[in-house]
Each structure stands twice: as structure tokens, then as C-alpha cells.
Amino acid sequence: MREILCHKVASGFASGPAMVTRMAISFLGNVDPRTGVVIDPGHELFGQSISGKVLIFPGGKGSTVGSYVIYQLKKRGLAPAAMINLRSEPIVAVGAIISGIPLVDRVPDDVLRVKSGTLIEVDSDEERIRILDTIPTGSK
């Protein structure tokens, strides 16, 4: 297990399998609010569902309506379990807060090298991320 210090943006505690991308995410346009699937063919995560994942990405971009899209995902049970940014910007920060999704930032860049699927625990109030064991292949 590896523990990483971070900075709290939106409070809460959650764990789940990591989903990692080096590309910024524009929730308005990149993610379908009805399914939680990344629908932008130009995005690294195209075709994958972000639901229940610990979504690790550099930060948000695009329209401020993206905050509301995060909220819609949460209400439909399709939101990420938690999010980790290198640097949070207002769209994702506000989206996470209004939705009650734990969000932390100010982590070292190498967090983007965590393998997707690795079990991650985000403890926002304690400002700690714990990288736990890799989930065995085949499990969900």
C-alpha cells in the first residue's frame, strides 16, 4: 500500500478501481449524462464508463455546464466514486461539491501512472489517497 498526501477540494471518503487518463475532461460534451460513458471519440477514455471509478485526470476544461453534468450523473447513480486531479479548476471542483463526490488535488504527477483498475481509496477530509492492491483480473 502507498499513501499519498493531497489537498481536499470536495469532502468525503470513497474507494473504487482507478480509471486514469492524461487528458483533461470536459464533462459537457465528453461524457453522456444518461449513461456515464465517455462519448468523445477523441478522448483516451472513449467508450468506457466512469461510473463507480476513482477517476484520475489532470483537471477539467470546457463549459461551466459541466458542473451540472456531474450532478446529473450523481443523481442517476452513474458518477465516479471519487476524483483525483493534479490541479482542480472551478468546473470539476464545483461539480464535485454540489454532487457530494470526494475530490482531491495537488498530488504528484506520477499518480497519472497508476494502472487503471488498481483499487484506490480517497479520504478527502484526512487529505490522503491510499493506493491498495490491484484488483484481480476478471473481477468487477
Catalytic residue set: 63
Q: Which is nearer to another protein, 31 or 114 (CB)?
A: 31
| Cα angle for residues 16, 25, 76 (degrees, 5° grid) | 55
For the CB of residue 11, give the shortest distance to another protein in the complex, in Å: 7
* Stretch of 16-24, 38-46, 83-91, 109-117 contacting another protein, by CB under 8 A: 83-91
Rule CB under 8 A: is residue 127 a binding residue for another protein? no
Per the DSSP assignment, residues forming a β-bridge with 118 are 134
The single-letter DSSP state of residue 25 is B
By C-beta, is 70 or 114 nearer to another protein? 70
What cell was used for 76? 442517476
How many CA within 13 A on the CB side of residue 140? 3
CA dist 100 and 70 (Å) reads 10
Binding region for another protein (CB under 8 A): 7, 9-11, 33, 64-65, 67-69, 71-72, 75, 87-90, 93-94, 97-98, 100
